Amino acid sequence: MPALRREMRLRRRALSGSRRTLATRAIIARIRRLPAFHAARRIALFWPADGEPDLRALAAHAWGRGKRLYLPVVGHAGAMRFAPWSSQGRLRRNSFGIPEPVGRRKVGVAGLDLVIIPLVAFDAHCNRLGMGGGYYDRALQRRWRRPVLIGAAFALQQVGTLPQQPWDVPLHLVVTERGLHKRGTRA
């Protein structure tokens, strides 16, 4: 998997500025139309890093509709929780250089309605390949209440099939600039 991860990260970062901007706008438009987005009151997003889609315009739209937003925060021993994020909130870079909310009470996934997740690659079954740290998989392992899980990616990140491990958590949907992918089919 390290070779695939490297190749897909290079491919994602190589997307030109104008194509990236247009693709990101299309991804945001598709997410905004999803019933799960409309119904959600508590939504976790991600701060863009390493060529990922920049969903900050989606955040502005969500705040305008009274939704509460959260960003992932990596804690001790690789535990990831989610901290409230507001447009006025202070952010601090974590050890990976990714901004996180400062000094806010954190919640687990059970406290969220929708989690929009970054990925390095995905397949038609909505399996995702992440950066390799397992943060999202560990955070999403809780089975008692799982929010809707949506991957946000560029179409060029789709691959044939990803091998799965018992701890891997598949997504409900992956949204790209070209369409929606549901587990096993393209919607």
> CA 55, CA 53: separation in Å to the nearest integer?
6
Torsion angle defined by CA atoms of residues 17, 35, 184 and 134, in that order, rounded to the nearest 10 degrees? 60
Compute and round to an integer the Cα radius of gyration of the chain: 15
Please state, in angstroms and rounded to a whole number, the distance separating the CA atoms of residues 178 and 162.
20
Binning the chain into helix, strand and coil, the percentages to the nearest 5 are 30, 25, 45
pLDDT for res 61: 97
Pairwise CA distance, residues 150 & 147, whole Å: 9
Q: How far apart are CA 2 and CA 171, in angstroms?
A: 21
What residues in the chain have per-residue pLDDT under 50? Answer: 186-187
Task: Please report the domains of the chain, with CATH numbers, ordered by start residue.
Answer: 2-186 (3.40.50.10420)
Length of the chain: 187
Instruction: State the DSSP code for 28.
Output: H
* pLDDT for the residue 187: 45
pLDDT of residue 186: 43
* Each residue's pLDDT tens digit, 121-164: 999 999 999 988 888 988 888 656 779 999 999 999 999 999 88
The whole-number pLDDT of residue 143 equals 59
Q: Hey, which residues does 114 pair with through a beta bridge?
A: 43, 148
| pLDDT at residue 167, rounded to an integer | 82
Q: How high is the pLDDT of residue 144?
A: 62
